Amino acid sequence: MHKKRNTLGGLIALNLALVVILGLVTFAPSVQASGAAAAAGDYMIVGGRINGATSNAVYILDQRTGALMCFLYDRSTKKLKGLSVRSVANDAKRFSPSR
């Protein structure tokens, strides 16, 4: 019986701590970098394959700047490795049909 009481007390204390943390996260003022923060929805992320690579890639499009970034997961270091950054607008101009 004593063990159940200690377990119940521990669960109540854990729940109270989680409620306090949830309140702090919910009502804390948001902090943004000066002018550099992106709004939600400004990025599109797609997974895909790269010819000749053993790992899949992650493509990230910054819709505000038109930059397309490609990252590859390196299994040996367990980190993402940046492969390339392209300007979608510049590439579209280069490949647009001539009139």
Is residue 4 assigned to a domain? yes
Is residue 45 assigned to a domain? yes
Rounded Cα distance, 74 and 55, in Å: 7
Nearest to 45 by CA among 61, 27, 23: 61
Contact between 42 and 61 under an 8 Å Cβ cutoff? The reply is: no
Is 20 in the same domain as 48? no
* Structural domain range at position 18: 1-29
- Higher pLDDT among residues 27 and 61, named by residue: 61
For residue range 29-78, list pLDDT tens digits in order.
655 554 555 565 688 888 888 888 888 888 888 888 888 888 888 878 88
Is residue 36 assigned to a domain? no
Is 4 in the same domain as 47? no
Rounded Cα distance, 18 and 26, in Å: 12
Tell me how many domains the chain contains. Answer: 2
